[in-house]
Structure 1
Amino acid sequence: MSSLNGHEAERDEPHQIAGLAQRLNWLRAGVLGANDGIVSTAAVVVGVAGATNSFTPILLAGSAAVVGGAISMALGEYVSVSSQRDSERALIEKEREELRVDPEGELEELVGLYEAEGLSRGTAEVVAKELTEKHALKAHLSMELNIDEEDVVNPWQAAVASALSFFVGAILPMLTILFLPTTLNIPVTFIATIIALAVTGYVAAWIGGASRWPAVARTCIGGAIALAATFIVGMLFGSSVA
């Protein structure tokens, strides 16, 4: 019984790993969306605050940045993921047709793929035949293209996730710039934005398996440059209008 359970665990492990990888990819996309929401919204509201302390212009500009940015993120993600989905579907249909037209040739191709993975000829033939009898298309998609027929990406899900993550990231600079005293709102927004960018940069690097601190440094430096630039532009326009 324990041996049987062990084999079942080994069989399920690739699906678990694939599921974990997909969840991490979505998480990473969400973190990057939040990062965009933080820095782009903060840059807009700080720039306007550099020109005027009036609540209404800052609110209008910030609201426009949040709505426009969220829609832009959603549309961009939808188009990108739709293209990926269409490509995956085309590859699936191509593989299905090849199996229909030349099943023997496709079986030999699968044997060769398993041999390339290190299996002996005899073992590769046994594995390829058994998997072909069980689910030929799935076996070929997995080995040749690393695609799961039942796990094609969803563009609507990606679009909604991107828009929501952008909106969540934009909340912080909006709150600090609008509801703190005018003597504090700009410096506190600077500080809060840099801290938030450090967190998102660290998490994104952790998910991607990259070096944490260089990623944090790049994110924070880029955000600081964006905030400083828009603040200076706002001050210059504010002075010229005055």
Structure 2
Amino acid sequence: MSDAPATPDRAGTGAPGHPGRHEPHGGGESLAQRLNWLRAGVLGANDGIVSVAATVVGVAAATTADAPVLIAGVAAVVGGAISMAVGEYVSVSSSSDSQTALIHKERRELAEDPAGELEELVEIYRQQGLSEPTARRVAEEFTAQDPIRAHLRAELNLSEDEVLSPWRAAGASFLAFLVGALLPFLTIVLAPVDTRIPLTFAVTVLALALTGAAGAWLGGARPLPATLRVVAGGAVALAVTFAIGALLGTTGVV
């Protein structure tokens, strides 16, 4: 599986003898899936905030002219959003292809050897701690209800409803990056020249604090350490690009 922020969290999918607690067919996403989409959105917004803020601050430190800052900002926003979307699409496509291949494999095995697959399911439940009679009864009941779902959950912790959508992941990453990127971009473009850099610093730090706290909350982590890490990383990026831009500006390179 790839590390795409959209990959469903399948931890704790059910007690032994149950192929996972899941919503009925057509019931929509699980809570874990929705939280993962939100977490991916927070991370995408964080990337947009940091990368665009660092770009425009670096250029603004090198020159007081508006045009270079505007051009660099637009390029960073558009290019970054497209790059995020393409990267997410490629990554999730690989995961989706793997998931689909596993589902097809299970369907083929069930069609070719249903009795053998039933025994395999019984053994899985038996290894989870159920007695032989109970494991067999559970396996037979789940097989009667939906054999492919039972095997996917028991063997792979997977459901056909959880196959990832590359297009959806790409769109979510694009929008998340764009939302985050617009904060520093609009700040530095609309603010007066003499205050645009400190204002962009302030807006960026505040936005990073919010995304850091939101990401920690969604992930169940302590908010303060996570927020400080995000803010510190963004502040370092801004400081470095500001220093480079100022150096280039004073040496007459730009």
| TM-score strictly above 0.5 | yes
Q: What is the match of residue 98 of structure 2?
A: 87
Task: Please list the CA deviations of residues 122-173 of structure 1 after superposition, one character each: whole Å capped at 9, or x if unmatched.
Answer: 1211111111122111100011111111331100000011001100001110
1:116 Cα shift? 2.8
1:167 aligned to which of 130, 155, 178: 178
Change (3 A) 1:17 1:118: farther
Q: What CA distance in whole angstroms lies between the structure 2 residues aligned with 1:147 and 1:12?
A: 9
Q: What is the match of residue 127 of structure 1?
A: 138
Q: What CA distance in whole angstroms lies between the structure 1 residues aligned with 2:29 and 2:123?
A: 24
Q: Which amino acid aligns with 1:60?
A: I
Q: What CA distance in whole angstroms lies between the structure 2 residues aligned with 1:236 and 1:227?
A: 14
Q: What CA distance in whole angstroms lies between the structure 2 residues aligned with 1:87 and 1:123?
A: 32
- % identity of equivalent residues: 59
The structure richer in helix per residue is 1
Which segments of 5 or more consecutive residues in structure 2 lack a partner in the other structure? 1-18
2:47 aligned to which of 31, 36, 45: 36
1:34 Cα shift? 0.3
Q: What CA distance in whole angstroms lies between the structure 1 residues aligned with 2:95 and 2:21?
A: 26
2:236 aligned to which of 225, 228, 237: 225
Further displaced range: 112-121 or 81-90: 112-121
Q: Does 1:68 align with 2:76?
A: no
1:17 Cα shift? 11
Which segments of 5 or more consecutive residues in structure 1 lack a partner in the other structure? 1-10
2:165 aligned to which of 149, 154, 160: 154
1:13 Cα shift? 5.6
Q: Which amino acid aligns with 1:101?
A: E
Q: What CA distance in whole angstroms lies between the structure 2 residues aligned with 1:194 and 1:90?
A: 44
Further displaced range: 133-142 or 112-121: 112-121
Q: What is the match of residue 96 of structure 1?
A: 107
Q: What is the match of residue 22 of structure 2?
A: 14
Q: What CA distance in whole angstroms lies between the structure 2 residues aligned with 1:115 and 1:198?
A: 48
Aligned-residue Cα RMSD (Å) equals: 2.0
Task: Please list the CA deviations of residues 25-77 of structure 1 after superposition, one character each: whole Å capped at 9, or x if unmatched.
Answer: 00000000000000000000000000111111100000000011000000010
Further displaced range: 189-198 or 118-127: 118-127
Q: What is the match of residue 78 of structure 1?
A: 89
Q: What is the match of residue 4 of structure 1?
A: none
Task: Please list the CA deviations of residues 94-121 of structure 1 after superposition, one character each: whole Å capped at 9, or x if unmatched.
Answer: 1112212222221111112222333222
Task: Please list the CA deviations of residues 197-241 of structure 1 after superposition, one character each: whole Å capped at 9, or x if unmatched.
Answer: 111111111111222211111111110000000001110111111
